[in-house]
Chain A
Amino acid sequence: MVMDRHPAHWVRLLAKWAAVPLALGGVILVSRAAGANEITAGLLLLVAVLGLAAWGGWTVGAVASVAATLCLNFFFFHPTGTFAIEDSSNWVALGCFLAASTLVSRLVARGRQEAAEALARQRELEVLYDLSFDLFTSPLGKAAARTLRALGSNSGALVLSGSEPAIVVGEPEVDGTFIEAARKGSAILEDGGTSYIPLQIGGQAGGVLLAWEPTAPPAVLEPAVRLLALAVERERLLREAAHLEAVRQSDALKTALLRAVSHDLRTPLTSMRLEIESLERRLAGRPEELASLHSLSRQQERLTRRIDNLLALARLEAGVARPHPEPTPAGSLFRAARESLALILEGRAVEVRIQPGCPDLWADPSVSLEVLVNLLENAARAAPPEQPLELAAESMDGHVRIEVRDRGPGLPAGGEGLSEGLGLRIARSLAEADGGSIELLDRPGGGTIARLDLPAAPELEEILAG
C-alpha cells in the first residue's frame, strides 16, 4: 500500500526531515561564528524550532525540540563539546528550553493544521457551491460529468432506473451486478477502482453513479451525490411539467372543439323545436297536418337525443368530462327518463317497480339518465303501443339492477349484438364509463329485458367517514 505512493510524497518527506539538521546546524554555525552566549543561542534555536514546527508539523517540531536541547547543551553550555553538565542550574535552563520549545512547536503545528483544515473545508465548499450552481443550470448529461469532476474522477456513468438511458462519461469499466447491488443498498460499493455510489432520488433508491477512482473526501462526495440526485429529480419534474402542460393544452383544444360542435349542432335543433311547437299551436283542429307534425316532432327529438348521446360519448372518450357519481335514487332517474321521453311515451302505460329498501345508485345522474332514456326509447319502439313497459330496480349484491322490460318481438335469433342500433351501442359505452354494464335478455313470456347494472351508493356513515 505504502509503496504505491507518488514519488513527490517521498521527496516532501525527505525535505521535511533533512530540514531539521540543516536549520539547527545553520543556527549553531552562525551563533558560534558570532560568539553568541548560551542565552542568545538558545533564543535563536527556539526560533528555528518554531519555524520547523510550522513548516513540518508537530512530529518534526518535537524531534527538532529534543535535538535543539541536546545541541544547546553540547555546543554552548560549559563544559562545551560534551553532554556533561557542571552547573546544576543549567539542568533547569535546559528543561525550560525543552518544555518551551516543545509546547510552542505543538501550538504552532496545531494552528497550522487548523488553518490547513479550514482551507480544505473552504475548498470543499467552493467545489460543492460551484457544483450546485452548475447542476441546476445544465442538462443532466453535463451535470453528471460535472459531478464526476468534482469527485476527482475522469470517467464514470450515471445509471437511472427504468426507461431512462444511462449517461456515460469517458470509458468507465462497468459491472452490471455491482450496479444492481448498489441500486438496492445504500452503501458505496467498490470494484477494481470503480466506485458504485447509490443515489436516493425523491426519497427512494433510484439510480447509481459510477466513478472511476474518485479522490474527493467523504465531505465532498456525499453532498455532491445528493446534489446530483436533486438535479435528476429536478430534470424529471421539468419533464413531467412539460408533459402535463401539453396534455392541458390538448384538453383545452378538445373542449373548445366539442363546445363549438355542440353549439353549432344544437342551434338549428333549437330553432326547429321552437317552430314545431309554434306550428302545433297554429295547426290546432287540423288532425292530418298535426299527425305529420307529430311525426316530425318525434324525429326531431330522436335526432336531438342521438346528438346528445354522441357528444356525451365524445366528451367522455376525449377525457374532457368524467362521470361525477353521486347517490341517485332509482325513482328520480325513472321519473326524469319518462319526462325526457314524454312525446314518445304519450298515451302509453309505464309500470314502475322499485324493491323496498333498494339503495340509491352510485352514478353520474346525467350519464345514467342518458343510458336509461336510450334503453326505454328502444323498448317503446320495439313493443306495440297497447303493451305496458316496465321499469324495475332492485338491490343485487353491492349494485343496483335496473331493468327495462317490454313485450316486443324479443331478441333477434342469434343473440344480442348482431343488430344493435346506435342508441344501444352508445348506451353500452356510456354505462361502462359510468361504472356499469348492460345486458339484453329474452323476457319469459315474450319480449326483451334490457338490464343495466350500476354500483350501489355507499351508506351514509361510509361516506361521512370518508
Chain B
Amino acid sequence: MTRPNPLILVIDDDADIRRSLSRELALAGYDTLAAADGVEGRELFEHHRPDLVVTDIAMPRADGLAVISAVRRTDRTPILVLSVRGEEADKVRALDLGADDYVTKPVYLRELLARVRTQLRRTGSGGMAVPEILRFPDLVIDRGRRTVVQGEREVRLTPTELAILELLASHAGRPVTLRQIIATVWTGAPATTVDTVRVHVGSLRRKLEPDPANPRYIGTEPWVGYRFLVEPSESG
C-alpha cells in the first residue's frame, strides 16, 4: 500500500491523550486514526491497515494485549505500546505477544517520535532481512566473518557473546526481552536462566564499551531485557 504519509492508529481510552497524540503525530507529518478501546481499534485496523499502531494497555472492552494478539494473527505491522510504570509484567507480556516497543507514560513527545521513526524505518527498509554487515558509528559487526571491530581494534567475543550482540544490534533501537534472547541464542539448549543471560551480557559490555563511565551500546531495560542504543550508520 503506498500512501503519501504513513498512517498511524492511536488507541487510548482517555479522550485528551487521544486528541493530543493525534494532533502531535499529525504535526510531525503522519496521518492518524484514533480509537477509544481495543474493539474499536481492531475494527479500524481491519478497515484501514495502518502502517503503525500506538496502543495503551489498560482499556475497557478489549485491552491492548488483545489488540496485539489480533494484529499479530495476520500482520507484522509495528506496534508501539504506551505502558505505565509499575506494570512491567504487562510490558513484558506485550513484547512477548509481538509488540515491537513501548513508551512509558507520561509520554515525552521527543521519545515517542523517535520510537515511531525507528519502527517505520525498519518496515520501510525491507523489514526483517538483516544485512550481512551491521555498521554503527565506531562499530562494525561482520556476521559472515564473525568479527567485531570497535573503532580500530578488533573485539574478541565468545560465540555466545557474539550471538547476543548480533541479536541486539539487528534490533537496534528496539527492546529485546530476555525470553527472546534465550530463544534465539540458546536454541535447543536445555533450561538457560535469565541469570546466565545477564552474566554473558555483563561480560559483553565489559569487552565492548570503551569508556565504562559513558556506555554507548547496550542499555538495560529494567524487568524487560536490553536495548541496543545506537542507530545504524546510514550507508555502508
Q: Name A residues whose Cβ lies closer than 8 Å to a Cβ of B.
A: 258-259, 262-263, 266-267, 269-275, 277-278, 281, 300, 304, 308, 311-312, 315, 321, 324, 326-332, 334-336, 352-354, 356, 358, 360, 364-366, 369, 457, 460, 463-464
Interface range, B side: 35 or more
Contact with A along B189-215 (1 / 0, CB 8 A): 000001110110111010001011111
Q: Which of A259, A352, A369 has a CB less than 8 Å from the CB of B214? A: A352
Q: Are B17 and A321 in contact (CB under 8 A)?
A: no
Cβ of B106 < 8 Å from any Cβ of A? yes
Once A275-B20, A329-B215 are accepted as A-B contacts, the answer to whether A259 and B223 lie under 8 Å apart by CB is no
Task: Tell me the bound Cα distance from A353 to B214 in angstroms.
Answer: 10
Q: Indicate if the CB atoms of A324 and B223 lie closer than 8 Å.
A: yes
Q: Which chain B positions have C-beta within 8 A of A273?
A: 106-108
List the 4 shortest-distance A-B pairs measured between CB atoms, nearest first: A366-B222, A274-B20, A273-B106, A352-B213
Q: Let me know if B108 and A267 touch, CB within 8 A.
A: no
Rounded to whole Å, the gap between the CB of A270 and the closest CB of chain B is 4
A275 to B23, CA, bound (A): 10
A262 in contact with B215 given A271-B17, A463-B195 (CB within 8 Å): no
Say whether, besides A259-B87, A334-B213, A328 and B220 are in contact (CB < 8 Å). yes
Q: What's the Cα separation between A463 and B14 when bound, in Å?
A: 45
Q: Is B138 on the interface with A (CB-CB < 8 A)?
A: no
Are A308 and B214 in contact (CB-based, < 8 A)?
no
Complex contact A259–B58 (CB within 8 A): yes
Sample of 17 A–B contacts (CB below 8 Å): A270-B17, A270-B106, A271-B14, A273-B108, A274-B109, A278-B109, A326-B194, A327-B202, A329-B205, A331-B211, A331-B213, A332-B215, A353-B213, A354-B212, A364-B222, A463-B195, A463-B199
Report whether A267 and B14 are in contact in the complex, using a CB–CB cutoff of 8 Å.
yes
**Interface residue? B43 (CB, 8 A):** no
Q: Which residue of A271, A315, A354, A366 is within 8 Å of B16 (Cβ)?
A: A271
Q: A270 to chain B: which residues have CB within 8 Å?
A: 14, 17, 82, 105-107
Q: Which of B195, B213, B223 has the most CB of A within 10 A?
A: B213
Type the 1/0 row for B84-117, where 1 means its CB is closer than 8 Å to any CB of A. 1111100000000000000001111110000000
List B residues at the A interface (Cβ < 8 Å): 14, 16-17, 20-21, 23-24, 27, 58, 82, 84-88, 105-110, 194-196, 198-199, 201-203, 205, 209, 211-215, 218-220, 222-223
Taking a contact as CB atoms closer than 8 A, the residue among A262, A328, A457 that contacts B84 in the complex is A262
Query: Which among B20, B58, B86, B105 has the highest number of chain A CB atoms within 10 Å?
Result: B86
Cβ–Cβ < 8 Å partners of B213 in chain A: 331, 334, 352-354
Q: Across the interface, name the chain A residue whose C-beta is closest to B217.
A: A332
Are B212 and A271 in contact, with the CB atoms below 8 A? no
* A457-B106 Cα distance, complex, nearest whole Å: 32
Give bound CA distance, A464 to B199, whole Å: 8
Residues of chain A within 8 A (CB-CB) of B199 are 327, 460, 463-464
Most chain A CB inside 10 Å of its own CB: which residue of B106, B109, B209: B106
Which residues from chain B contact A278 at a C-beta distance below 8 Å? 20, 23-24, 109
Q: Which residues of A contact B196 (CB under 8 A)?
A: 463-464
Question: Which of A258, A312, A332 has the most B CB atoms < 10 Å from its CB?
Answer: A332
Minimum Cβ distance to chain A for residue B7 (Å): 20
Residues of B within 8 A of A266 (CB): 84-85, 105-106
B216 (CB) vs chain A CBs: closest residue:
A335
Which of chain A's residues has its CB closest to B200's CB? A460
A308 and B17 within 8 A (CB): no
How long is the Cα–Cα vector from A271 to B223 in the complex, in angstroms?
26
B87: which A residues are within 8 A, CB to CB? 259, 262
Q: Which residues of B contact A329 (CB under 8 A)?
A: 202, 205, 209, 212, 215
Question: Which residue in chain B gives the minimum CB-CB distance to A460?
Answer: B199
CA–CA, A66 and B212, complex, Å: 108
Write the nearest CB–CB distance from A395 to chain B, whole angstroms.
Answer: 12
B20 and chain A: residue at smallest CB distance = A274
Q: Find the B residue at minimum CB distance from A261.
A: B86
Rounded to whole Å, the gap between the CB of B132 and the closest CB of chain A is: 29
Give the distance in Å from the alpha carbon of A328 to the alpha carbon of B202 in the complex.
8
Residues of B within 8 A of A324 (CB): 222-223
A321 touches B24 (CB 8 A): no
Look across to chain B and name the residue whose beta carbon is closest to the beta carbon of A354. B213
Question: Is B223 within 8 A of A331, CB to CB?
Answer: no
Q: A254 CB to closest chain B CB, in angstroms?
A: 12
Question: Which residues does chain A contribute within 8 Å of B84, judged by CB atoms?
Answer: 262-263, 266
Say yes or no: A369 contacts B24, CB within 8 Å: no
Contact A335 B215, beta carbon cutoff 8 Å? yes
- A358: chain B residues at CB < 8 Å are 212
CB within 8 Å for A312 and B86 given contacts A259-B58, A274-B109? yes
